[in-house]
Amino acid sequence: MIDVSPLNWTELDRRAVDTVRVLAADAVEEVGSGHPGTAMSLAPAAYLLYQKVMNLDPADDQWLGRDRFVLSAGHSSLTQYIQLYLAGIELELEDIKALRTWGSKTPGHPEYRHSQGVEITTGPLGQGLASAVGMAYAARKERGLLDPDAAAGTSPFDHFIYAIASDGDLQEGVTSEASSLAGLQELGNLIVIWDDNKISIEDDTNIAFTEDVLQRYQAYGWHTESVDFTHGGTEYREDVDALYAAIAAAKAETGKPTLIRLRTIIGWPAPTKQNTGAIHGSAIGAEELAATKKVLGFDPEKHFEVSDEVIEHTRAQVRERAAQRRQAWDSDYDAWRTANPEGAALLDRLRERALPQGWTDSLPSFEEGKEVSTRKASGSVLTALADTLPELWGGSADLAGSNNTTMDGQPSFLPVARSSKKFPGDPYGRTLHFGIREHAMASILNGIVLHGLTRPYGGTFLTFSDYMRAGVRLAALMGAPSTFVWTHDSIGLGEDGPTHQPVEHLTALRAIPGLDVVRPADAAETVYAWQGIIERTDRPAGIILTRQNVPNPARGDGAASGSTLASAAGTLRGAYVLAEAAELQDGLPQVVLLATGSEVQLALEAREVLAAEGIGARVVSVPSQEWFDEQEAEYREQVLPAAVRARVSVEAGIAMSWRHLIGDAGRSISLEHYGASADYQTLYEKFGITTDAVVAAAKDSL
Amino acid sequence: MIDVSPLNWTELDRRAVDTVRVLAADAVEEVGSGHPGTAMSLAPAAYLLYQKVMNLDPADDQWLGRDRFVLSAGHSSLTQYIQLYLAGIELELEDIKALRTWGSKTPGHPEYRHSQGVEITTGPLGQGLASAVGMAYAARKERGLLDPDAAAGTSPFDHFIYAIASDGDLQEGVTSEASSLAGLQELGNLIVIWDDNKISIEDDTNIAFTEDVLQRYQAYGWHTESVDFTHGGTEYREDVDALYAAIAAAKAETGKPTLIRLRTIIGWPAPTKQNTGAIHGSAIGAEELAATKKVLGFDPEKHFEVSDEVIEHTRAQVRERAAQRRQAWDSDYDAWRTANPEGAALLDRLRERALPQGWTDSLPSFEEGKEVSTRKASGSVLTALADTLPELWGGSADLAGSNNTTMDGQPSFLPVARSSKKFPGDPYGRTLHFGIREHAMASILNGIVLHGLTRPYGGTFLTFSDYMRAGVRLAALMGAPSTFVWTHDSIGLGEDGPTHQPVEHLTALRAIPGLDVVRPADAAETVYAWQGIIERTDRPAGIILTRQNVPNPARGDGAASGSTLASAAGTLRGAYVLAEAAELQDGLPQVVLLATGSEVQLALEAREVLAAEGIGARVVSVPSQEWFDEQEAEYREQVLPAAVRARVSVEAGIAMSWRHLIGDAGRSISLEHYGASADYQTLYEKFGITTDAVVAAAKDSL
């Protein structure tokens, strides 16, 4: 599917590109805010990609064979919107006019699936490029799942990931991390155009960005190309042939990702504001707008002027290219389906993010009464699911053995030459190695998810979720089911001390709208935690796991009753009555103890002590507040009866996220300050997170 | 003060280095956890720095002329602890034995000022190196404040920043960001030794770290050196002369920071575990420990064996070098003080972080009744303080004009050649340009603060505090008074949409122990917010500011009374009664409206509406929950009387951090989901953050 036909760039194409510039300036002028400059100067590059390079089908925005486009420079959303309009992919001129207004299809930054053709939400700089690396991972992985034996470039699953990046994207650390991995992974399917315009919001980038970017990317193992529209400062001529040739060379380089430096002048050809920070993020003003139109041969009095000839040309061009490519691709694809009925069935399942019938039968169970850390239980779950869910894959930011994120016996996703003794590699392997790059891990996971077919996970210590936060938030905003495995979830990690002990993190993560935070109490809950995460396909989740061993107590098959603990299946509802009070009054306990993770054992012990004193304490295990919030009011009332105001939360972190569940009469056994370096038993004792403290708090709450 | 004397490396030095290795392995074995491998193989490098290179004074750990040492590879804390012990800087052998235990001076990772000689808390990878860049900034800046005209290398304020970095440090994006800035800033006073041991927790780094690091650093504009203890894999010989020569070359290169690649074998010379991930983060085991001691000629039966000869040698060596250097330095310093009485007075003030008498007289006031955004007011405060507080400096992550972080008329902190038309540069300038590198900004600010004399601030949009979070947390953990300027603090930023609109951030930041979150309501509160932040020198703060204009209403000089609003001085107490209820019952209002920032105006409007309906509503402005928490119970009760349970919080973000203040009867006008792209007035209306909503909630709460 690699198209290397010569570029046919007509006068009408040139006119269309100028139309893009005028539309961009008009749209920002209309709403009074936005980013015209880059949209103007990137017009030829974006037009080239959409009209002459990428495989897209305006009739099928979810075409499996499509190339992916990532506008990492998300502030320049018009760069994408106007191309979608010209290509006939959902957007119309009215949408361009409605830029950045309530309810429009054209928000300030591109938003994932808010309109067709937008493959990812971008705007926070660096995220797009880092996630584009993830998409390139995913393209290779999906090919490996479905068509591994096809020769390079011959599979219906072969395509390219194109990204446009700004100076800002290349300054952000997350792209450094991801780009280093892209080089190591030899991602020949990734092509990035860097808009080197030497202007950012603080104007001339000489004050903040003077490194040799191409040399840096060469150091990462990338192929680099350079195209200079300023021709060494002698004249501004948009040499689209040179850019097209650079893209062709990038496609031909199948063993390395490519960075194409494209030297532009921001805002060209606006007569006075080009090449200034002023045109980056503000309307250019009526006078400058009129002058720009004059330069381009447009009527300065007209706004949003698109000639019929131009729009007909661009839409027909995309339609015809799509038809050609679809014909070839559909035939390849049909042949593949016929030859690979099992692969086709798998593909159909993965496209819907459906799970195989009876998949939960593969889930493991754990010996009751035997202590095991929840991280270890989690690792057993992953290994147990390896055959059943081929779409599940992942790894760690250099903490594989600590996070228990490796499925036993699965090869690593690596070029063979990057193997190590411990981790044999395979380009289609399953274990991901992110190195010590937590932020890129989050963004790469997002890119893998958005690409479409698989479910990746990535692990680090909970405290380092701080490094990932911008990526985690984007997953939540997009509703992308990335899974974050966060182990070493409290002072329970012990001796590494306060830099490594999360204290505020559970609350800070619960604060992110749309993120499920799941902290199972024991091995049995860990199984259901994974089930609940895998079953939910419209949002990300973090699974929060202990380093230290915790009890895996004997449980009954149903609800809690007498001294019998409830089944761990209640995990799926976010919170459930794990142990009922020994004595009820009017059917109610006197006090409810709410706990998560390793602190559930303290609540269970406290229940016994309280029972001996004649106080009926119910223990509610709360692995996920978010899942509990989804339940019907009736169930919630059953678990947390409004009439029982005596409540205690028990969690080795700050109490902030518990106040709404425990109410004014409630008490919290929590940790409101940083931890310390010592064995964890000492820390729990010294910091007052003990059974005795829970008992005292329960009495105080009565 | 640049010492280029030839290296005198004796048999006793060799023995001392081997003692370090044995102590490191013993200490980890004793506690049963920790990181022996790097401490063993880095022993000669660390010893060289502490014993032969750095200017340190064991009798004065706060010596102004000392070189700074940053162990970016914080997990290898023994690398630093054992050198401090050998150098006679507070730690004794008992402290090494007490590694990682409760109450010891030797926690799992180095903690700032937990013991003498520890200049920074490290552990979260990348932070140390990024903050070392900040220290190098600070050294230049402080020289500029105090001794700008001295020739290079002749000032008592000239010294070096040394850092030891691991593979992990060089993979983290935050160091990429900071290193690019270090190159641009031509920080000749920064020398980093990279422990290139090709092993991380997942073993062979070939699976995750194959880039050409030196080429990357050259691209950043660094000088690089390479020293190979493996001699191309032919033999392991610790060529300390070559390392010393590389350090000398680094010192001689005054126009560039230096990265020295030091190829080592982790855990050398442990016979079976050297060069494996197994020796990175676990005790090496009794057998391997005994075998290692045999290799080194130590008695395998003895633990923590330090010969008198060794400890006497190392302590005397450091003492004598210190004495020599102090003599020279003290004489230079005295001469400087005599010649610069004003500088000396300034220095004395800065060392104590004291503020000049009457400094608040410089604070500006704002026209009452005139709308202004709090970001703009903040910019005016900074400009007004420029002359009074020379220690105050800062900038932005490429959002200077949006964050209002530039003091008018001050030059940029830049090599002159890095000037731009808009930002003239001066090596001793005041305005910082971080580029689009929020994370490095946080870590660099921390490094500047820790270096000692100045108070830096750095700005970006509030939503991008996510990128900075790991650095912000470290500031809080260290009690370092870095100031973060976070503007565009809500959906009030408008059209840029949900990627740029903070929703959960105020709560997520309040969750960080030890961080002050300050969100002033208007220009008048902004002045006091800065005052309160500057007066607190033992913790970091974030000041949270609006993009949009907000009213700056007329106020009285004291408490609220009748229709007169209280003075904004109440800001300093975190929360105060801004407007009293028109009618009180038994001296109490019927309902209390708590609000921050731009939402205070809604509370004030609601108070009027409620008054018209005969409901007495008090408005409490809560610029900082943390400052309010510090107040005495009596004041808190005055502001928020326990008897008034009808309360409403009003803040354009999630309500989580308000539950404890509003209680069960309280209501929250909040935003529990992501924003959207539209003008901010529409967003407030569509999302129900309106005066009417506050009124309705107040009634509901009654």
pLDDT in tens, A564-607: 999 999 999 999 999 999 999 999 999 999 999 999 999 999 99
Q: Give the chain A residue nearest B513 (alpha carbons).
A: A673
pLDDT at A1: 45
> pLDDT under 50 in chain B at which residues?
1
Q: Peptide bond preceding B269: is omega within 30 degrees of 0, i.e. cis?
A: yes
pLDDT digits (tens, 9 = 90+) for A355-397: 999 999 999 999 999 999 999 999 999 999 999 999 999 999 9
Which residue from A450, A452, A451, A455 is spatially nearest to A432, judged by alpha carbons?
Answer: A455
CA distance to partner chain B, nearest, from residue A272 (Å)? 16
When pLDDT is averaged across residues A82-111 and rounded to a whole number, the result is 98
Interchain pair A466, B473: CB under 8 A: yes
B394 at interface of A, judged by CB pairs closer than 8 A: no
Residue B53, classed as helix, strand or coil, is helix
Residue A3, pLDDT above cutoff 60: no
Q: Which residues of A touch B440 (CB under 8 A)?
A: 173
* Vertex A670 angle, CA A666 and A675, to 5°: 170
Q: For chain A, give the percent of residues with pLDDT over 90.
A: 98
Interchain pair B396, A107: CB under 8 A: no
Task: Name the CA dihedral angle for B457, B459, B463, B467, rounded to a multiple of 10 degrees.
Answer: -70
Q: Which residues of A touch B396 (CB under 8 A)?
A: 202
pLDDT at A5: 79
ipTM of the prediction: 0.98
What number of C-beta contacts closer than 8 Å exist between A and B? 369
Element (H, E) at B629: helix B625-630
pLDDT at B2: 52
Largest CA distance in chain A: 90
Residue A208, pLDDT above cutoff 80: yes
Task: Name the CA dihedral angle for B119, B122, B125, B128, rounded to a multiple of 10 degrees.
Answer: -10
Q: DSSP character for A539? A: S
Residue A91, pLDDT above cutoff 60: yes
Interchain pair B213, A219: CB under 8 A: yes
pLDDT at A225: 98
CA distance to partner chain B, nearest, from residue A127 (Å)? 11
Partners of B593 in the β-ladder: B619, B648
* Vertex B368 angle, CA B365 and B372, to 5°: 80
> Domains of chain A (ranges plus CATH)?
11-323 (3.40.50.970), 359-550 (3.40.50.970), 568-701 (3.40.50.920)
Token duo for residue B698: 């107040």
A532 at interface of B, judged by CB pairs closer than 8 A: no
Residue A431, classed as helix, strand or coil, is strand
- Check: CB of residue A468 under 8 Å from CB of residue A450: no
Q: Give the chain A residue nearest B437 (alpha carbons).
A: A172
Out of B215, B418, B504, name the one closest to residue A206 (CB): B418
Interchain pair B466, A463: CB under 8 A: no
Interchain pair A171, B180: CB under 8 A: yes
pLDDT digits (tens, 9 = 90+) for A468-477: 999 999 999 9
- Check: CB of residue A206 under 8 Å from CB of residue B205: no
Q: Which residues of A touch B664 (CB under 8 A)?
A: 663-664
pLDDT at B188: 98
Q: Where are the beta strands (DSSP E) in A384-488?
A: 392-396, 412-413, 425-426, 431-433, 455-461, 483-487
Q: Which residues of B touch A664 (CB under 8 A)?
A: 663-664
Q: Cβ–Cβ contacts within 10 Å for residue B426, how many?
A: 17
pLDDT digits (tens, 9 = 90+) for A621-656: 999 999 999 999 999 999 999 999 999 999 999 999
Element (H, E) at A296: helix A286-296
Q: Give the chain A residue nearest B186 (alpha carbons).
A: A210
Alpha-carbon distances, residue A53 vs A45, A84, A123 (angstroms)? 10, 14, 24
pLDDT at A4: 62
Radius of gyration of chain A (CA): 28
Task: Name the CA dihedral angle for B437, B438, B442, B445, rounded to a multiple of 10 degrees.
Answer: 50
B123 at interface of A, judged by CB pairs closer than 8 A: yes
Interchain pair B437, A172: CB under 8 A: yes
Compute the distance between CA of residue B669 and CA of residue B679 in angstroms, rounded to an integer.
20
pLDDT at B134: 98
Q: Give the chain A residue nearest B414 (alpha carbons).
A: A207
Interchain pair B211, A183: CB under 8 A: yes
Partners of A70 in the β-ladder: A163
pLDDT digits (tens, 9 = 90+) for A217-238: 999 999 999 999 999 999 999 9
